[in-house]
């Protein structure tokens, strides 16, 4: 129930419906305006117009949230020990029930805010929220330590305890799915959390994200976003209280297609690899590597599929690509395309803005061919519907090209040769390697990057240690004498 003094806003969704929403910050169990009263405009990227405002937090608001979180954590930590795991699981499942009951409205909200297809939000993003909440609810009563029989005369064991107050900074491309993905592991281990979305901000600056990273009473920060901001997070963590850090950063993922692959199926998966969420995905398959013998056939098939993409209103059931998320990001993607052409890459299709769809941020799906080593489009994360096609002679060259990047988030290999797949799975330096598919995952499977694509893992059992401290307890069973007693012969 909305309290009379809590800030709300009437928001027009992309489907024409209107909803009343809280637009304050949720601190100490209530929605409140920012202390400075500053607000951010919220745009519908499909229309290119302002549809509402939300309060913008700064360091003072973060400090208030941290104090509330610390108080709650210290007051409830003993009562909310692992003996109450069933209650925590019940609450996570109740939240999942509420999300499920409001699926259509939440999907419409997500599509309006980000520009992603309503059909994707309804069948993938919001159901993903539900799945994630239920998955971590199941973990609540399964946090266990170990006993050690290798310490003579002592009972030695470990217990896992929550790290404390955690700040989570989520990206703008998947705000709904990544909120529970970041927060659920901390909730079920009884952490107090601060959740902050980066929106489409130009960087940390003097925002809530910077304040979280700087704060001396935040014990851990988890960040998903660009490498440039990830470095700022690491520096802030080191310069403050050496808080623990998990980073999920960018990628420039290779999609490798060998000549024994099914060309049609590989092209269809490659389309999904770059077109999911208009290419605004950290694991986007933006570098397609095709073996020379099938390069022409694959390129024809893939380019035809890209030309068949219908760009338009995200709420139109026939649309297969919506707008980019913001005007600023739209401009950056166009700049990358222009730069790639200037550096010699050939446009096989796309590359231009679509101007007959109103004021939204629409871009035609873009394919580059004959891209030479050193071209900017091969090295940089464009974060849009932009893909390059390169060729390779053999397995060795494919590995060399695939690993020629500072990133190591994801990759894919298409082949019907299982021995080759096993070799490639080992040789590719990436946190995820898909075989004969792309962009297919689950909250049960660990996710994270090699090299400059991040630190730590999200999802599955692997995420648990990000939010837990291991405490070792060594108890005298009554037979171990002190050094003084031994020296005295007692």
**What are the structure tokens assigned to 371, written together?**
């891209």
Closest C-alpha among 1, 484, 430 to residue 251: 430
Q: Is 248 a catalytic residue?
A: yes
List the strands of the sheet with 244-248, edge to edge.
192-197, 165-170, 220-224, 244-248, 454-455
Do residues 102 and 143 touch, judged by C-beta distance below 8 A?
A: no
Which residues lie closer than 8 Å to 344 by C-beta, 6 or more apart? 370, 371, 372, 375
Q: Provide the β-strand partners of residue 450.
A: none
Scanning the structure block, which residue is given the tokens 């850090």?
245
CA distance 244 to 221: 6
> What would you measure as the largest C-alpha separation in the chain, in angstroms?
94
Scanning the structure block, which residue is given the tokens 């909305």?
2
CA distance 144 to 147: 10
CA distance 241 to 237: 6
Q: Provide the β-strand partners of residue 204.
A: none
Q: 196, 248, 301, 458: which one is catalytic?
A: 248
Scanning the structure block, which residue is given the tokens 């902050």?
196
Closest C-alpha among 225, 199, 12 to residue 114: 199
Write the burial class of residue 345 (CB in 10 Å: 0-12 exposed, 13-18 middle, 19+ buried). Answer: buried
Q: Is the dihedral of CA 316, 318, 320, 323 positive or negative?
A: negative
Alpha helices in 343-404 (DSSP H): 376-379, 395-402
**What are the structure tokens assigned to 115, written together?**
């520009």
Q: Provide the β-strand partners of residue 256.
A: 289, 413
Instruction: Give the CB-side neighbour count of residue 125, counting CA atoms within 13 A.
Output: 28
Do residues 189 and 130 touch, judged by C-beta distance below 8 A?
A: no
Which residues lie closer than 8 Å to 418 by C-beta, 6 or more apart? none
**What are the structure tokens assigned to 185, written together?**
């592991």
CA distance 25 to 270: 40
Write the burial class of residue 29 (CB in 10 Å: 0-12 exposed, 13-18 middle, 19+ buried). Answer: exposed
Q: Provide the β-strand partners of residue 157.
A: 147, 473
Residues that are catalytic:
248
């Amino acid at each position: 129930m909305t309290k009379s003094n809590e800030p709300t806003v009437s928001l027009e969704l992309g489907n024409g419906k209107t909803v009343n929403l809280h637009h304050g910050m949720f601190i100490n169990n209530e929605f409140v305006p920012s202390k400075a009263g500053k607000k951010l405009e919220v745009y519908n990227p499909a229309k290119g117009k302002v549809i509402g405002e939300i309060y913008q937090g700064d360091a003072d608001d973060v400090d208030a949230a941290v104090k509330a979180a610390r108080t709650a954590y210290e007051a409830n930590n003993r009562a909310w020990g692992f003996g109450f795991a069933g209650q925590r699981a019940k609450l996570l499942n109740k939240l999942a029930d509420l999300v499920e009951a409001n699926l259509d409205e939440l999907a419409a909200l997500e599509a309006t805010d980000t520009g992603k297809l309503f059909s994707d939000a309804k069948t993938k993003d919001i159901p993903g929220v539900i799945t994630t909440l239920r998955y971590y609810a199941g973990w609540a009563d399964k946090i266990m330590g170990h006993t050690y029989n290798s310490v003579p005369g002592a009972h030695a064991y470990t217990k896992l305890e929550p790290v404390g107050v955690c700040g989570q900074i989520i990206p703008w491309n998947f705000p709904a799915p990544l909120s529970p993905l970041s927060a659920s592991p901390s909730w079920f281990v009884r952490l107090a959390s601060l959740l902050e979305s980066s929106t489409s901000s130009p960087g940390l600056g003097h925002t809530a994200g910077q304040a979280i990273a700087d704060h001396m009473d935040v014990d851990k920060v988890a960040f998903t976003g660009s490498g440039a901001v990830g470095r700022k997070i690491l520096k802030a963590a080191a310069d403050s209280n050496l808080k623990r850090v998990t980073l999920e950063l960018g990628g420039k993922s290779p999609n490798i297609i060998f000549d024994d692959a099914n060309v049609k199926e590989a092209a269809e998966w490659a389309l999904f690899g770059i077109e999911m969420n208009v290419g605004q995905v950290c694991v986007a398959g933006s570098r397609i590597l095709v073996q020379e013998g099938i390069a022409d056939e694959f390129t024809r098939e893939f380019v035809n599929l890209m030309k068949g993409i219908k760009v338009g209103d995200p709420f139109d059931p026939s649309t297969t690509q919506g707008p980019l998320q913001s005007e600023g990001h739209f401009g950056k993607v166009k700049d990358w395309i222009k730069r790639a052409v200037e550096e010699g890459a050939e446009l096989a299709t796309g590359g231009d803005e679509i101007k007959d769809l109103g004021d939204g941020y629409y871009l035609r799906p873009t394919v580059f061919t004959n891209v030479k080593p050193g071209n900017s489009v091969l090295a940089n994360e464009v974060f849009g519907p932009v893909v390059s096609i390169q060729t390779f002679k053999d397995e060795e060259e494919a590995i060399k090209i695939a690993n020629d990047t500072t990133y190591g988030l994801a990759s894919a290999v298409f082949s019907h040769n299982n021995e080759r797949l096993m070799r490639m799975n080992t040789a590719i330096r990436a946190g995820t390697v898909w075989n004969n598919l792309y962009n297919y995952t689950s909250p049960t499977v660990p996710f994270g990057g090699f090299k400059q694509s991040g630190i730590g893992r999200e999802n599955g059992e692997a995420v648990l240690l990000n939010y837990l401290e291991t405490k070792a307890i060594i108890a005298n069973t009554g037979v171990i004498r002190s050094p003084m007693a031994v020296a005295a012969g007692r």
